[in-house]
Amino acid sequence: MPFGELVCGSPGSGKSTYCYGKYQLFNALNRPIAVVNLDPANENIPYPCAIDIASLVTLDDVMKEYGLGPNGGMLYCMEYLEANYDWLEDRLRELGDVYVLFDLPGQVELSTNHESVKKIVQKLTKSGFRLAAVHLCDAHYVTDASKFISVLMLSLRAMLHLELPHINVLSKVDLINQYGDLDFNLDFYTEVQDLSYLENALSSAAPRYAALNMAICSLIEDYGLVGFETLAVEDKESMLHLTRVIDKATGCVFVPSANAKVPEGADAPKGVPSSQRPNEYGLLSSAMAPLQGPRSDPRDVQERWLDAKDEWDAWEKAQWRREGQLVQEAAKKAQIRERHPPSSSQTTNTQPS
Ligand SMILES: Nc1nc2c(ncn2[C@@H]2O[C@H](COP(=O)(O)OP(=O)(O)OP(=O)(O)O)[C@@H](O)[C@H]2O)c(=O)[nH]1
Ligand SMILES: [Mg+2]
Determine which residue's CA is closest to atom 2 belonging to ligand 1: 172
Determine which residue's CA is closest to atom 29 belonging to ligand 1: 17
- Ligand 2 centroid to Cα of residue 9, in Å, is 10
Per-residue pLDDT band at 353 (split at 50, 70, 90): very low
Residues in the chain, overall count: 353
- d(CA 166, CA 155) in angstroms, rounded, equals 9
- d(CA 157, CA 168) in angstroms, rounded, equals 12
Per-residue pLDDT band at 350 (split at 50, 70, 90): very low
239 lies in some domain? yes
Residue 245: CB atoms within 10 A of its CB come to: 18
Closest among 218, 216, 44, 239 to 134, alpha carbons compared: 239
Provide the 3-class DSSP secondary structure of residue 19: helix
- d(CA 106, CA 112) in angstroms, rounded, equals 11
- d(CA 351, CA 331) in angstroms, rounded, equals 32
Query: For a substitution probing ligand 1, which of 17, 47, 78, 136 has the most ligand atoms within 8 Å of its CB?
Result: 17
* pLDDT tens profile 148-196: 999 999 999 999 999 999 999 999 999 998 988 899 999 999 999 999 9
Q: Are residues 153 and 177 in the same domain?
A: yes
> Looking at the 3D structure of the chain, how many domains does it have?
2
Q: Are residues 84 and 216 in the same domain?
A: yes
349 lies in some domain? no
Per-residue pLDDT band at 279 (split at 50, 70, 90): low
| CATH number of the domain enclosing 149 | 3.40.50.300
Residues with CB under 5 A from ligand 2 (ion): 15-16
CB 227 within 8 A of CB 151: no
CA gyration radius, the chain:
24
Q: Are residues 194 and 318 in the same domain?
A: no
**Domain limits at 28?**
3-295
Ligand nearest to the CA of 238: 1
Q: Are residues 153 and 76 in the same domain?
A: yes
Q: Are residues 106 and 151 in the same domain?
A: yes
In the chain, what is the greatest distance between 2 CA atoms, to the nearest angstrom? Answer: 94
